[in-house]
Amino acid sequence: VIPVYTKRYEASTDALDVKELYISKSTRQYRYRVSCSTETRSQFTMYKLFVFFCVAHAINGALARRPSYIKPCKVNSPDFDDCALEHGRAALPYIVKGDRKYSIPKLNPLKLPAVNVDAGQNLNIKLTDVSAEGLEKIKLDRVKIDTKARKVFLDMHMSKVELIGQYDINGKILILPIQGKGPCNITATDAKFQYSFNYILEKINGDEYMRLTENDNLEFEVGRAYFKLENLFNGDKNLGDTMNTFLNENWEEVIKEIGGAISQTIRTVARTISSGYFKKVPYRELLIFE
């Protein structure tokens, strides 16, 4: 068998010389050539052979494609979207735990070095060292996959999501000036999200893979939002307490200004998870065309 795609590995011990180890992504097969010298052949133990075969199988397993917890659906079935929703819900408990093989981060909690917030011209805000909590309880409400338009729609909701980290803010929020830096907590309850993205197909080693385009979009609404910004106005407690009260009393307007922190976090999660699987799982293993 001549593999379409191969990788070559070399290794040796005092008794074993692994000349070649070829691994085929297309057929998921591997072959290897081992040699040992006459002087060391007597020292070649079953233990070393066992270790070598464990390594070979581990490398071969790293090339696995679709994970067992992700089930494909038949595109031409009248129940296609319902199937995608059912299988998506079944896969979520595995996805939120993270999967290093597919570059899926652990979501309980999700650690982000920074969150970009587009708050307009009058307000600058930056969040760093962010811990997003509550993402492991995300629920999937709807899945719509349009294979002709190559577009996917996902509706999700969470009872509560918290962003805990460090903030740096300067400018005006609504009509009031605001300035400060320090610890923060932005919490949203009864949050609903609508995420959509387009995809293209790229052929790699004879297989087609999905690739997200850059125009993915996330819209959201929340039942309530809460804000706690510590050390506002250089630590002036009276001004800080007054501003926090103002933010929470006017949360519906404030969320329009700085809610991008929440939407950007969820968009990052959705895009990272989707791209992680799409990069390693062929299109034909995600969707069944019959």
User: Both 27 and 149 in a single domain?
Assistant: no
In the chain, what is the straight-line distance between the N-terminal and C-terminal CA atoms, in Å? 29
For residues 17 and 127, state if they share a domain.
no
Residues 126 and 226 in one domain: yes
Whole-prediction pTM: 0.74
The verdict on 228 and 92 lying in the same domain is: yes
Whether residue 145 sits in one domain with residue 41: no
pLDDT of residue 21: 46
What's the total number of domains in the chain?
2
- Whether 213 and 268 share a structural domain: yes
Report DSSP letters for 95-110, one per residue: HTT-BGGGTBPP-TTE
Q: Give the least confident one: 30-34, 169-173, 233-237.
A: 30-34
Determine whether 84 is exposed, middle or buried from the number of CB atoms within 10 Å of its CB (0-12, 13-18, 19+).
buried
Q: Are 113 and 159 in contact (CB under 8 A)?
A: no
SS3 143: strand
- Residues 6 or more apart whose CB falls under 8 angstroms from that of 288 comprise 72, 73, 74, 75
Q: Which residue range(s) make up the domain with 281?
A: 73-288
Longest dimension (CA), the chain: 85
The answer to the question of residue 167 being in a domain is: yes
Query: Is 67 inside a domain boundary?
Result: no
* Closest by CA position to 65, among listed 162, 247, 204: 204
Burial class (CB in 10 A: 0-12, 13-18, 19+), 205: exposed
**32 and 146 together in one domain:** no
- Same domain for 84 and 55: no
Q: Whole-number mean pLDDT of the chain?
A: 84
| Structural tokens at position 74 | 């038949």
Q: Are residues 49 and 104 in the same domain?
A: no
Q: What's the rounded Cα separation, in Å, for the pair 10 and 19? A: 6
Do 186 and 266 belong together in one domain?
A: yes
**What is the tens place of the pLDDT at every residue in 38-82?**
544 545 455 454 555 555 444 444 444 899 999 999 999 999 999
* Residue 96 located in a structural domain: yes
**CATH number assigned to the domain comprising residue 87:** 3.15.10.30
pLDDT band at 15 (very low <50, low <70, confident <90, very high): very low
Whether 173 and 30 share a structural domain = no
